[in-house]
Amino acid sequence: MEEASGVRMAPGNGENSYATNSRLQEKAILETRPVLSKAIEEVLSTCDSTMVVADLGCSSGPNTLLVVSEVIGAIRAYTKKADDARGVEVQFFLNDLPGNDFNFVFRSLEYYHNLGGGKDTPPYYVAGLPGSYYQKLFPRRSVHLFHSSYSLMWRSKIPPELSSCTHLNEGNIYIGKTTPPIVIKMFQEQFQKDFELFLTLRSRELVNGGRMLLTFLGRKSEEMLMHGDVATAFEWVSISLQSLVQKGRVEKEKLDSFNLPYYAPSVKEMTRKTIRYLTVPIVGQTSPSA
């Protein structure tokens, strides 16, 4: 798997689907509710009556609609509190890679008609937007709020030097205990390039006074690249795959050449990349154990 466009969550709503197995991700959306409300209040105090909101890496299932419903709820609360009679309308863009199960999202929308319910619900319009957030997605200065949850740890691709030299990270699918420092550097550089690109693109697309709420997996520690947090989970998967190689069930070549287009940065790495773009501080960090 060379390009991240090969990444997709399991479609539909069956037992093994993403929709049925994403309660941890739901928790992150609910925990960031106060930050979302604040961002929406700030946007609404400067925009006119139309607000454009984009959820990047929306996937399919209840979480996709939960984001829509949280935004609507926050707008409703603000307009009530501020006695705002502007008649705000919301245009949502739900973005993910083209392989995402958008059909399931659209079918669920029909089912969840009138999200948030009630007569105070602002009129809202929902459109799907297939494409990578590592490319241009919107016209200049057209989006008021970017939201993204549990997605930005996915890289645009596997570091190119790693895909061309398939044995560099033997036996691992991500950064593991036996990953050489040169490979760790490749993962780090890919994150830096991707994140810089993401911020450059979004900063052009955001209106003046717009806001971004980005929640994604990171590391608590600067040094502990291979211990704790996400790396441990992937290490277990690598160990299971190694045992399948030993039993002859998986080709060694396949395991050695497979790497995840993924990187979980530390807060310091994040701050280093975002500092040029930030007008407000980084407000928090979620961890997979949360």
| Interacting residues with ligand SAM (CB under 6 A) | 4, 7-9, 22, 25, 29, 56-59, 63, 95-97, 100, 132-134, 149-151, 154, 156
What amino acid occupies position 132?
S
**To the nearest whole angstrom, how small is the minimum distance from the Cβ of residue 29 to ligand SAM?**
6
Nearer to ligand SAM, 96 or 229 (CB): 96
| CA separation for the pair 129, 139 (Å, rounded) | 13
| CA separation for the pair 132, 142 (Å, rounded) | 18
What amino acid occupies position 137?
L
**To the nearest whole angstrom, how small is the minimum distance from the Cβ of residue 98 to ligand SAM?**
9
CA 124 to chain centre: 23
**To the nearest whole angstrom, how small is the minimum distance from the Cβ of residue 120 to ligand SAM?**
26
φ/ψ (deg, to 5) at 96: -160, 175
**To the nearest whole angstrom, how small is the minimum distance from the Cβ of residue 25 to ligand SAM?**
4
**To the nearest whole angstrom, how small is the minimum distance from the Cβ of residue 67 to ligand SAM?**
7
Nearer to ligand SAM, 132 or 169 (CB): 132
**To the nearest whole angstrom, how small is the minimum distance from the Cβ of residue 17 to ligand SAM?**
12
Paired residues of 90 in beta bridges: 51, 124
Nearer to ligand SAM, 88 or 218 (CB): 218
What amino acid occupies position 154?
W
φ/ψ (deg, to 5) at 143: -115, 135
Distances (CA, A) of 19 to 59, 158, 181, 203, 287: 8, 26, 37, 31, 21
CB neighbourhood size of 172 (10 A): 27
Report the residue number whose CB is nearest to ligand SAM. 57
| CA separation for the pair 72, 122 (Å, rounded) | 7
Nearer to ligand SAM, 197 or 250 (CB): 197
Nearer to ligand SAM, 3 or 120 (CB): 3
Nearer to ligand SAM, 102 or 124 (CB): 102
Nearer to ligand SAM, 25 or 179 (CB): 25
**To the nearest whole angstrom, how small is the minimum distance from the Cβ of residue 286 to ligand SAM?**
11
Contacts of 38 (CB under 8 A, 6+ apart): none
Residue of 168, 221, 220, 202 lying closest to 277 (CA atoms):
202
CB neighbourhood size of 152 (10 A): 22
